[in-house]
Amino acid sequence: MIVVQKYGGSSVADTDRIKRVAQRVAAARRGGHDVVVVVSAMGKTTDSLLRQASEISVIPPGRELDMLLTAGERISMALLAMAMHELGYTARSLTGSQAGIITDAVHGKARIIDVTPGRIRQGLDEGHVVIVAGFQGVSRDSKDVTTLGRGGSDTTAVALAAALDAGVCEIYTDVDGVYTADPRIVPGARKLARVSHEEMLELAAGGAKVLQVRSVEYARNHGVAVHVRSSFSYSEGTWVDNGDDMEQAMISGVAHDTGEGKLVIRGVPDKPGVAARVFTDLARANVNIDMIVQNVSSDGTTDISFTLPLADGPRAQLLLEALLPEIGAEEITFDTDVAKVSLIGAGMKTHPGVAATMFAALSDAGVNIEMISTSTIRISVVIRADAVAPAVQAVHDAFGLAEPDVAGVGGRVSGASGRGRRVTEAQA
Ligand code: ADP
Ligand code: ASP
Ligand code: MG
């Protein structure tokens, strides 16, 4: 069986940890498996490289930024290969390009469009442990090196697991699974034994960075079973799978994201075509838009607000400043002190009152809501960034997510084991 193991930045933060990872890989190898390892950059390497780039340029050329950032993962892969050799195993490290990760040409957030793992298979056939640099690929068109967006090594691992038809894709990180909220913010958060692709997708989109959104999309589309677990223990983690035969969870968790900003375009003339123009241009510039709110107009003008990744802020601002005269809007402001808090649960679509309970919990905690958006299994709000910890805690408490045996709010939900709140017959 082929096993794909991905080790995140904290798992390879220094050379001692790399040696420990090598021990784990060796154990899998001794278990008779063919092992493909995907590594992230050591510790905060990617952040340091980004900082260095920003000291030189506000908007660095995407091609060069990607060239810079991919260096981080190359350091880890080579050091891990050396550590394997020290343990008496042969290993071959490969860059994303060498490993056959083919992407589109969008620097900084390239999508994987094909995987041609010939060199990986060859390495495995020759008896090597194959180590692949995560988070990177090569553009089919431009032949330039690309990166897959922050957290992209998760997607490398899932894509390789799919292409190699691996038995399992293990994501090793610094927490022992997916929790009902970020355990760094909510100490009482509970580990989920299983979570469906759909719920995990919303958790990840809501900012639970334990898995990159695209890795979950990829896993869902290709039927890859993902096991999120700790590289610091041997305990069973969380299985992310298609959710068949799962009991319906009412609420699976609370996610938060402080990595987005709120951009407001004021005094937009209230006439057809303006929103289309703004968002078409932003889409062309590959700016990811999240929540959009347009106010009711007064005096023939309105405000359009939306959230977007902080990293896309400068580019979006530059683009919109240039567009202002044409659309006849007054001004643009970019607010970086916001946070998004999302409540996720597949059961909420059949349960009225979930939004009301969430908003009441935020109100009781003195948290002001600035924007709201919903999907069938998610409710998201934008709040001030400094309110994020109390907000997440309050919402987590309101739905009784910490304790499996404690009845949830209003008695609408009952005890659960292993996953989020389940819907019992009495409630349904
Ligand atoms: P890695 O470097 O291994 O890829 P990340 O930092 O990307 O690790 O992701 C792991 C982190 O995700 C954890 O340390 C945790 O703080 C955070 N996190 C956020 N939400 C959740 C959640 N619901 N469950 C588990 N971890 C979460
Ligand atoms: N090193 C990259 C990052 O920090 C990719 C990853 O860790 O998955 O975002
Ligand atoms: Mg990560």
**Å from CA of 8 to ligand 2 middle:** 7
From the CB of 178, is ligand 1 less than 6 Å away?
yes
Which chain residues have CB less than 5 Å from ligand 3, an ion? 8, 151
Kind and range of the H or E run holding 87: none
* pLDDT interval class at 249 (50, 70, 90): low
From the CB of 150, is ligand 2 less than 6 Å away?
yes
Q: How many CB atoms lie within 10 A of CB 56?
A: 8
Asked if residue 262 has pLDDT above 90, the reply is yes
* pLDDT interval class at 226 (50, 70, 90): very high
Ligand 2 atom with the shortest distance to the CA of 149: 9
- Nearest ligand, CA 136: 2
Backbone φ and ψ of 172, nearest 5°: -90, 125
Backbone φ and ψ of 264, nearest 5°: -120, 130
Which among 320, 197, 192, 205 is positioned nearest to 257, based on CA atoms? 205
pLDDT of residue 200: 96
Which among 9, 294, 311 is positioned nearest to 135, based on CA atoms? 9
From the CB of 237, is ligand 1 less than 6 Å away?
no
Ligand 1 atom with the shortest distance to the CA of 172: 3
Choosing from 46, 132, 148, 160 the residue with most ligand 2 atoms within 8 A of its CB, the one to mutate for a pocket test is 46
Asked if residue 122 has pLDDT above 90, the reply is yes
Q: Where are the domains of the chain?
A: 2-174, 246-411
393-420 mean pLDDT? 59
Ligand 2 atom with the shortest distance to the CA of 73: 1
Cβ pair 100, 119 in contact under 8 A: yes
Structure letter (DSSP) for residue 161? H
Closest residue by Cα to atom 4, ligand 1, is 8
pLDDT of residue 88: 98
Q: Is the dihedral of CA 102, 105, 107, 108 positive or negative?
A: negative
Query: Tell me: the pLDDT tens digits for 263-301?
Result: 999 999 988 899 999 999 999 999 999 999 988 888 889
From the CB of 201, is ligand 2 less than 6 Å away?
no
- Sheet strands (E) in 78-176: 91-94, 101-103, 112-115, 129-133, 136-139, 145-147, 168-173
From the CB of 181, is ligand 1 less than 6 Å away?
yes
d(CA 121, CA 134): 17
Closest residue by Cα to atom 8, ligand 2, is 151
The CATH number of domain 246-411, selected from 3.40.50.300, 3.40.50.1000, 3.40.50.2300, 3.30.2130.10: 3.30.2130.10
Q: How would you list the strands of the sheet with 168-173, edge to edge?
A: 91-94, 129-133, 34-39, 2-7, 168-173, 226-230, 238-241, 194-196
Ligand 1 atom with the shortest distance to the CA of 154: 4
Asked if residue 187 has pLDDT above 70, the reply is yes
Same fold? 2-174, 246-411? no
Task: Classify domain 2-174 by CATH architecture.
Answer: 3-Layer(aba) Sandwich (3.40)
Query: Tell me: the pLDDT tens digits for 326-343?
Result: 999 999 999 999 999 999
From the CB of 208, is ligand 1 less than 6 Å away?
yes
